[in-house]
Amino acid sequence: MSGSGVPHVSRIGVNGVGRCRVTRPHYLSPNISREMYISCLIYGNIYRNTVIAGAGRAATDIRRAGKQERLLSGGFLEMAEGAQPGDLFVVTLDDGAKWYFEAIRGKKKSLRFVCQGEQFRVVDGVLISEGFYPKLSDPWVKRHTLLVSCLEEIRRLQKGGDIQLPSARLASPQQESKSYTVELVTTMAEFEQEVRCDPSRWCDGTGPDDADLKDVDQSLLSTGELLALLHGDRGVALLQLSLPADMGGNRLPLLRPFIFEILKRIDEAKDIVVHPSKISGGAASSFVIAAKRQPFISWAAYLSGLGVQASIVAESEFYKMIIGRMMGYRIQNIEHHIRSTGGSLDPSVYSLVDRELTTLSKVEPILPWK
């Protein structure tokens, strides 16, 4: 992904032991003053002040988030009292660990929260786990057998403690007495609009001058890539479903914010195809997701046949180049990736890749494809 910058949101942090503070993120436009945030504390009520800053523009959207006295009685009350479906919160513990909670619509229009594949409700400021999300019996999940098997394995590891469940940390008596903050990061609508306005961040690949991704940017990377595909700005995208523990299996893109909601939309889309992709032995699995038109549909079948993985770097210069071309990355960024992973750029690789792409489909890729 080129560039950093996912939605840029001011928030009011609520301390789990009953203290309230106002923070101004460093990455917001400098013409947004701290006083603007402090002004949201009015007449005993607390407001969320969401600021989207990008390309020289700044806009504010202030929404009431609940009574101050209710908020101060428990940090998670901000999520319960003020949240709407699509809101994304980050819970930061005193050791710096961050957990992202996505608000979703539950049964009978009740509000629920999802974090790392676990569903919660909030009662009197306390997190109550309701089990795993989504259900393996959900129709859209059942239509993808690879997704079902990956979720079953992930949940086995979570139950055994190999992958930590949020409830094991956040809802424990040991954590209850410690300090934490609950902050609004963004909303699904705001983030999707950000991707629409500048899809290049999620389509161009990583360039030599791009800064390292911040925690929130990394958490929303796969989300932005899939949204760009849904919007027609990408022809092919990859999503990692499973990985061995020593390769990052405890922080899978599959469990990151908004991914399940976007996979539902992809499942319902008539113009998108999803291919399973597994490496030999099944230690790692991915989805290859593509527009249902040439050349993207042929490219997706090719990548699936190779067992290409979103989070595993290809070994040869040829495969690094052809995968990058199929992903739609800028050629300069593909070349940077090859060099930065110890490869060399032999001129013959370019012609071999061109020949292979032409063999797969004679149709030139056109973006946006819809």
Q: Could you tell me which residue, 107 or 79, shows the higher pLDDT?
A: 107
What is the spatial distance between Cα 345 and Cα 317, in angstroms, rounded to a whole number?
A: 7
Q: What are the structure tokens assigned to 146, written together?
A: 């690879």
Q: Name, of 91-95, 169-173, 217-221, the range with top average pLDDT.
A: 217-221
What is the spatial distance between Cα 106 and Cα 109, in angstroms, rounded to a whole number?
A: 6
Q: Where are the domains of the chain?
A: 11-186, 199-360
Whether pLDDT at 23 is above 80: no
Structure confidence at residue 150 (pLDDT): 96
Structure confidence at residue 54 (pLDDT): 25
Of the pLDDT bands very low, low, confident and very high (cuts 50, 70, 90), residue 15 is very low
Of the pLDDT bands very low, low, confident and very high (cuts 50, 70, 90), residue 320 is very high
Q: What's the half-sphere exposure (Cβ side, CA atoms, 13 Å) at 305?
A: 8
Among 106-115, 263-272, 316-325, the least confident range: 106-115
**Whether the model pTM is above 0.85:** no
Region 80-90 average pLDDT: 87
Whether pLDDT at 293 is above 50: yes
Buried b (16+ CB within 10 A) or exposed e, 86-116: bbbbbbbbeeeeebbbbbbebeeeebbbbbb
What is the spatial distance between Cα 343 and Cα 252, in angstroms, rounded to a whole number?
A: 27
Of the pLDDT bands very low, low, confident and very high (cuts 50, 70, 90), residue 112 is very high
Structure confidence at residue 32 (pLDDT): 34
